Amino acid sequence: MFRMLAKASVTLGSRATGWVRTMGSHQLLVPPPEALSKPLSVPKRLLLGPGPSNLAPRVLAAGGLRMMGHMQKEMFQIMDEIKQGIQYAFQTRNPLTFAVSGSGHCAMETALFNLLEPGDSFLVGANGLWGMRAAEIAHRIGARVHQMIKNPGERYTLREVEEGLARHKPVLLFLTHGESSTGVMQPLDGFGELCHRYQCLFLVDSVASLGGVPIYMDQQGIDILYSGSQKVLNAPPGISLISFSDKAKVHHTTPVISLYCLRESLALISEQGLENSWQRHREVTAYLHKRLQELGLQLFVKDPKIRLPTVTTVTVPAGYNWRDIVSYVLDHFNIEIAGGLGPSEEKVLRIGFLGYNATMENVDRVAEALKEALQRCPKNKL
C-alpha cells in the first residue's frame, strides 16, 4: 500500500506549482489560497431588486447569535415558534407547516415531489418564469404537464382555469401569486373552490408576495403554499416556508442560525400585523408607480389591479440598454435593482420594495437614481 501511495505522489507532484509540504506518506500539493488571507468585506448597499432584500436590524442581530445543538429542546421551541409564525403569515391552521432548509426553489421541489407521481396530469399557469420552472420539474417527475401559456404580464381568470380543469382532469394546479419575473399579482379568490369541485389540489407559489400582499391560505382553499425568506420577510436566503397536508419526511442538521433569523423575521411581521404590512406595501408601491410615471417610465403590467405590490416591472425605456441603467444606479447610488428574468428578459427593469426596505424614503432614493441614470446613460435612437 505504501508503494502505491509513493507512486501517486510522484505522479501528482510533477503537476504541482512549487508549493509542496510533505506530511507523512502524502504531500500537501494545494497551498492555502492567497485570496483567503485578506479580510472579508462586504459592500453597503440598498437592495431594491426583486430579492434578496436588506435584512431588518433585528434579523441581522439574530445571525450573530451563538450556536446550539439542533436537537435541543430550546431549538424545538424556536422551530415551534416559527411554525406558528408561518401559520400566521399564511393564515392557515395546517399542522404540517414548517421551514424547509433550502431556497424557494427547494420548496417548489418539495411540493411537486410530494404531490406528483409519474403519469399524473398537472395543470400549470405558465405566465412567467416560475410556472415554466414548475412545468420543467413536473416533466422530469414524469407527470403529464399541461401548460396554460400566457403572454408575460397577464394573469389567469377563473374561466380559463375551469376550462383547463375540465379538459385535462389534473390532480394538481399550480399558480404563482407574485410573478416576480413579470410583476403580476395573480388574484387567488375562487380558484381553490373551483379546483376542489374538479378533485384537483391547488398549489400556490407566494415567494415574491407573502407579507406584502393579502393571502388567506385556508379561506382561499389553497392546499399547498410555499414562500421564501429573503423577500418581504427580510431574512437571509437559504430557507423557505411551506404548508400542506400530505406526509413529508425530513432528516438532517437543521440550519440553526438561519432559523434564528427566520424566527426574528416572523416575530417582526407578527408584531407589525399582516394588515399593516400589506397596507404599507400597497402605499409605498403606489407612490413608486407615481414617481416612475413622472419620470416618463411605463409600467410593464397594463392592468393596475394585477400589479404586484412587492416587485414592480418597468418597461425598459426606448433607446436604452437596461444593463446601463442597472449599472449606473449601482455604481453611483449603491442601489441594486435588476433586469428581467425568463419571459421578461431584456424587456423590463425590476424594482423590489420588500419588507423593511418598503419605505417612502427608499422610493425617493431610487427615483432620484433613475432620473439621473436616464440623463446620463447612453441613449441610441433606434
| Residues of this chain, 30-59, that bind a copy of itself according to CB under 8 A | 30-33, 35-37, 40, 42-45, 47, 49, 51-55
Binder among 130, 156, 202, 260 for a copy of itself (CB under 8 A): 260
Whether the Cβ atoms of residue 200 and residue 224 lie closer than 8 Å to each other: no
Radius of gyration of the chain (CA): 24
The answer to whether 211 contacts a copy of itself (rule: CB under 8 A) is no
Site for a copy of itself in 290-319 (CB under 8 A): none
C-alpha cell read off for 293: 410615471
Whether the Cβ atoms of residue 62 and residue 261 lie closer than 8 Å to each other: yes
> How far from chain centre, in Å, is Cα 321?
25
Report which of 163, 169, 114, 164 is spatially closest to residue 138, judged by C-alpha positions.
114
Binding span for a copy of itself by CB under 8 A among 60-68, 112-120, 169-177, 370-378: 60-68
Site for a copy of itself in 262-281 (CB under 8 A): 263-264, 266-267, 270-271, 273-275, 278
Residue-by-residue DSSP string for 102-151: S-HHHHHHHHHHHH--TT-EEEEEESSHHHHHHHHHHHHHT-EEEEEE--
Nearer to a copy of itself, 101 or 295 (CB): 101
Going residue by residue from 220 to 259, which x/- string records binding to a copy of itself, judged by CB under 8 A?
xx------x-x-----xxxx-----------xxxxxxxx-
- What's the min distance (Å) between Cβ of 255 and a copy of itself? 3
Binder among 103, 114, 315, 321 for a copy of itself (CB under 8 A): 103
C-alpha cell read off for 150: 400566457
Residue-by-residue DSSP string for 285-341: HHHHHHHHHHTT--BS-S-GGGB-SSEEEEEPPTT--HHHHHHHHHHHH-EE-EE--
Report which of 115, 372, 371 is spatially closest to residue 242, judged by C-alpha positions.
115
The answer to whether 114 contacts a copy of itself (rule: CB under 8 A) is no
- What's the min distance (Å) between Cβ of 379 and a copy of itself? 25
Cα→Cα distances 321→207, 256, 324, Å: 28, 43, 6
Nearer to a copy of itself, 121 or 311 (CB): 311
The answer to whether 29 contacts a copy of itself (rule: CB under 8 A) is yes
Binder among 14, 18, 21, 296 for a copy of itself (CB under 8 A): 21
C-alpha span between 229 and 199 (Å, rounded): 31
Binder among 15, 159, 249, 305 for a copy of itself (CB under 8 A): 15
- What's the min distance (Å) between Cβ of 319 and a copy of itself? 25
Whether the Cβ atoms of residue 208 and residue 310 lie closer than 8 Å to each other: yes
Nearer to a copy of itself, 127 or 230 (CB): 230
- Give the count of residues interacting with a copy of itself (CB under 8 A): 104
- What's the min distance (Å) between Cβ of 25 and a copy of itself? 8
Nearer to a copy of itself, 146 or 259 (CB): 259
Whether the Cβ atoms of residue 202 and residue 191 lie closer than 8 Å to each other: yes
Nearer to a copy of itself, 36 or 382 (CB): 36
The answer to whether 135 contacts a copy of itself (rule: CB under 8 A) is no
Binder among 199, 219, 293, 298 for a copy of itself (CB under 8 A): 219
Burial of 22 from C-beta contacts in 10 A (0-12 / 13-18 / 19+)? exposed
- What's the min distance (Å) between Cβ of 380 and a copy of itself? 25
Binding span for a copy of itself by CB under 8 A among 188-196, 305-313, 315-323, 343-351: 188-196
Binding span for a copy of itself by CB under 8 A among 98-106, 120-128, 167-175, 295-303: 98-106
Cα→Cα distances 273→11, 90, 108, Å: 65, 12, 27
C-alpha span between 284 and 275 (Å, rounded): 14
Site for a copy of itself in 141-180 (CB under 8 A): 158
Report which of 93, 96, 25 is spatially closest to residue 243, judged by C-alpha positions.
96
